[in-house]
């Protein structure tokens, strides 16, 4: 039975209440949102007026959004493990690396010094997730023996193991300083010379002329939607409820009959599968990826995504991903804008000149020079400062992150004008 008309929060059955989008307002909002993100890559007047595109530059923003979509897939996986199952993991970069090197081993070209079988994407992309999941199953027994901070420390060791293995097997990882070229996002039936769908070149779809970034955007958008729906349904399933029980109190959950070992193993396997897929996509999207890039900082970045966006929610992981990925680009653009204002003759030029350092010997708190070290701070150093500050602020004042802020705003207006 559906909710009573005029009472959208009144439900008469469990099925009606547990739907992903139970109310008519949510369903209409979802339809408008889907229409907007589908039209977003195209050169339309209404899209050009969006502040994000106008500020980042329309030829630049789509590449940033594609990277955010890839990170969103990995964030969904870590959200299942840490946000839903309560297992702290700082080894997410390791599982992404496992997926990436599985992809390059199966899909990359083989030479006298590098291993590769040149298989199509419909083989190496799922295999990347499966290989990472198998490694996650091997790691899962440690999650039963340790928990909390000890589990986080144990998963840090995986990152350093992965970095060591990349040096031991240069035939797979390539030279340490450069890495190797990764398989391109091309769809072939087998190993024919010309792919029937190439996402790395310009082309024409229907009556639209699309670029390679637009093609990649739609491909990643479909994957993100698929993984998001699977994550949301997992949270509502019997498996998801067992994860939540372990997260809240693992001893009590085991007493009530929740199989702790099987539940934690499943959580690690599914989370690692997500990470493996994201790692393969990220490496292929970047064309060439340094083996040293799968480091602890990348794992911390995903932890920041969950803490800022909100743990345990798919929407929180998605919001945190776009916030963390887009923020450095906004900061960089804003710093260069301040530099342009400081060089001008306006009334506020002196104020901006006191904040921004343009050249050597110039006073300022932030330097727009990318090679600057020490003080003033380079723009690239602000990313880590912002991440650290936001993590502290959200942990102290809003543990639910951006999702918690949205809940407070929504509840305020739902009861307006009687918001007390």
Identify the burial level of 146 via C-beta atoms within 10 angstroms of its C-beta, where 0-12 means exposed, 13-18 middle and 19 or more buried: middle
Q: Which two tokens stand for residue 216?
A: 């990649």
pLDDT < 50 stretches in the chain: 1-4
Give the pLDDT score at 337: 76
| Pick from 41, 37, 36, 39: nearest CA to 59 | 41
Would strands 366-367 and 197-198 be described as parallel, antiparallel, or unpaired?
A: unpaired
Q: Specify the DSSP element, H or E, that contains 283.
A: helix 260-286
d(CA 211, CA 215): 6
Give the pLDDT score at 299: 92
Q: Kindly report the average pLDDT of the chain as a whole number.
A: 83
- DSSP codes of every residue in 240-277: HHHHHHHHHHHHHHHHTT--HHHHHHHHHHHHHHHHHH
| Cβ atoms < 10 Å from Cβ of 161 | 12
Q: Specify the DSSP element, H or E, that contains 213.
A: helix 212-236
Give the pLDDT score at 199: 86
Give the pLDDT score at 130: 97
d(CA 61, CA 57): 6
List pLDDT tens digits, range 103-112. Answer: 999 998 888 8
Distances from the Cα of 207 to the Cα of 37, 204, 210, angstroms? 19, 7, 9
Region label for 310, one of left (φ > 0), alpha (ψ between -120 and 50) or beta (otherwise): left
Q: Which two tokens stand for residue 68?
A: 């955010």
Give the pLDDT score at 1: 44
d(CA 61, CA 225): 20
Terminal Cα distance for the chain, rounded: 32
Angle at 316 between CA 156 and CA 4, to 5 degrees: 145
Give the pLDDT score at 57: 54
d(CA 58, CA 178): 30
**Secondary structure in 3-state letters for 16-67:** HHCCCCCCHHHHHHHHHHHHHHHHCCCCCHHHHCCHHHHHHCCCCHHHHHHH
Would strands 203-205 and 186-187 be described as parallel, antiparallel, or unpaired?
A: unpaired
Region label for 50, one of left (φ > 0), alpha (ψ between -120 and 50) or beta (otherwise): beta
| Cβ atoms < 10 Å from Cβ of 156 | 17
User: pTM for the complete prediction?
Assistant: 0.90
- DSSP codes of every residue in 284-297: HHHSEE-GGGSSHH
Q: Give the distance from CA 382 to its chain's centroid.
A: 20
């Amino acid at each position: 039975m559906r909710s009573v008309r005029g009472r959208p929060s009144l439900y008469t059955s469990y099925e009606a209440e547990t739907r992903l989008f139970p109310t008519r307002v949510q369903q209409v909002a979802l339809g408008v949102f889907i229409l907007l993100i589908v039209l977003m890559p195209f050169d339309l007047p209404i899209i050009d007026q969006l502040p994000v595109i106008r500020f980042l530059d329309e030829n630049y923003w789509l590449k940033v959004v594609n990277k955010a979509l890839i990170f969103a897939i990995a964030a969904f996986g870590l959200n299942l493990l840490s946000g839903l199952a309560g297992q702290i993991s700082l080894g997410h970069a390791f599982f992404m690396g496992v997926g990436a090197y599985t992809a390059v081993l199966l899909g990359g070209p083989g030479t006298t010094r590098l291993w590769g079988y040149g298989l199509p994407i419909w083989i190496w992309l799922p295999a990347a997730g499966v290989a990472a999941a198998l490694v996650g199953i091997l790691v899962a027994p440690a999650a039963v023996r340790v928990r909390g901070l000890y589990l986080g420390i144990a998963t840090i060791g995986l990152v350093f193991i992965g970095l060591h293995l990349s040096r031991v097997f240069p035939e797979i990882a390539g030279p340490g300083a450069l890495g190797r070229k990764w398989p391109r996002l091309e769809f072939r039936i087998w190993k024919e010379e010309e792919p029937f769908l190439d996402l790395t070149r310009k082309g024409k779809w229907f009556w639209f002329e699309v670029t390679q970034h637009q093609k990649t955007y739609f491909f990643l958008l479909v994957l993100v939607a698929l993984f998001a729906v699977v994550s949301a349904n997992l949270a509502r399933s019997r498996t998801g409820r067992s994860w939540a029980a372990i997260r809240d109190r693992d001893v009590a959950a085991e007493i009530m009959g929740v199989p702790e070992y099987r539940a934690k193993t499943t959580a690690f396997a599914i989370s690692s599968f997500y990470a493996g897929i994201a790692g393969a996509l990220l490496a292929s999207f970047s064309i060439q990826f340094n083996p040293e890039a799968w480091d602890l900082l990348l794992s911390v970045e995903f932890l920041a995504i969950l803490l800022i966006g909100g743990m345990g929610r798919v929407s929180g992981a998605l919001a945190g991903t776009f916030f963390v990925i887009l923020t450095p680009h906004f900061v960089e653009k804003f710093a260069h804008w301040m530099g342009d204002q400081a060089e001008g003759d306006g009334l506020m030029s002196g104020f901006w000149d006191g904040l921004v350092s343009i050249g050597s010997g110039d006073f300022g708190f932030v330097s727009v020079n990318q090679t600057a070290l020490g003080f003033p701070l380079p723009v690239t150093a602000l990313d880590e400062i912002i991440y650290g500050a936001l993590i502290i602020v959200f942990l102290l004042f809003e543990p639910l992150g951006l999702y918690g802020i949205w809940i407070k705003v929504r509840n305020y207006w739902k009861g307006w004008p009687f918001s007390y």
